[in-house]
Amino acid sequence: MHKRFKNPFRPGAGHMPPYLAGREHETKEFGQLLGQDVILSNLVLTGLRGLGKTVLLETFKPLAIQTGWLWAGTDLSESTSISENNMATRLLTDLAIVTSTIVVAVDPSRQIGFGDPPPEPITMNFAFLRSVYESTPGLASDKLKRVLEMVWSHIDALGRKGIIFAYDEAQNLADHAAKDQYPLSLLLDVFQSLQRKGCRYLLALAGLPTLFPKLVEARTFSERMFHVVFLMPLNHAETTEAIRRPIQKDSCPVDFSINSTETIWSITRGYPYFVQYVCREVFDVWVQAMDTDQPIPSVPVAEIIRKLDSDFFAGRWAKATDRQRALLGIIAGLTNCDQEFTVQEIVQDARNVKLPKSFSSSHVNQMLASLSEAGLVYKNRHGKYSFAVPLLGDFIQRQRESSGSSLS
DSSP string, 130-198: HHHHHHS-S-HHHHHHHHHHHHHHHHHHTT--EEEEEEESGGG---BGGGTB-HHHHHHHHHHHHHHTT
* Beta partners for residue 206, in sequence order: 45
Residue 30's identity, in one-letter code, is: F
Q: What pLDDT is attached to residue 256?
A: 85
Mean pLDDT over 217-231 rounds to 93
Mean pLDDT over 201-214 rounds to 93
Are 299 and 263 in contact, with CB atoms under 8 Å apart? yes
Mean pLDDT over 294-315 rounds to 85
316 vs 293, residue with greater confidence: 316
Q: Where are the domains of the chain?
A: 24-230, 235-299, 319-403
Segment 109-136, tens digit of pLDDT: 555 555 556 667 888 999 999 999 999 9
Q: What pLDDT is attached to residue 354?
A: 66
**Lowest mean pLDDT segment, chosen from 13-17, 239-243, 383-387:** 13-17
**Lowest mean pLDDT segment, chosen from 2-11, 28-37, 164-173, 174-183:** 2-11
Burial 286-309 (b: 16+ CB within 10 A, else e): bbeebeeeeeeeebbeeebbeebb
Nearest to 341 by CA among 296, 399, 299, 386: 386
Architecture of domain 319-403: Orthogonal Bundle (1.10)
Give alpha helix (H) positions in 45-83: 53-66
Q: Is the pLDDT of residue 243 over 90?
A: yes
CA 199 to chain centre: 26
Q: How confident is the model at residue 349 (pLDDT cuts 50, 70, 90)?
A: confident
Mean pLDDT over 244-252 rounds to 82
| E strand residue ranges, 225-354 | 226-230
Q: What pLDDT is attached to residue 51?
A: 92
Q: How confident is the model at residue 1 (pLDDT cuts 50, 70, 90)?
A: very low
Segment 20-43, tens digit of pLDDT: 999 999 999 999 999 999 999 999
Nearest 5 degrees, angle CA 316-CA 320-CA 324?
A: 135
Q: Is the pLDDT of residue 106 over 60?
A: no
Q: Considering the chain, what is the average pLDDT of its residues? A: 88
Fold assignment, 24-230: Rossmann fold (3.40.50)
Mean pLDDT over 371-393 rounds to 87
Count of residues for the chain? 408
SS3 state at 372? helix
Q: What percent of the chain has pLDDT over 70?
A: 91
Q: What pLDDT is attached to residue 117?
A: 60
CA pair distance 18, 241, nearest whole angstrom: 11
| E strand residue ranges, 348-392 | 377-379, 385-387
Q: How confident is the model at residue 338 (pLDDT cuts 50, 70, 90)?
A: confident
Q: What pLDDT is attached to residue 271?
A: 94
Segment 255-265, tens digit of pLDDT: 888 999 999 99
211 vs 404, residue with greater confidence: 211
Q: Running DSSP on this structure, what letter comes out for residue 79?
A: G
* Beta partners for residue 72, in sequence order: 165
Q: What percent of the chain has pLDDT over 90?
A: 62
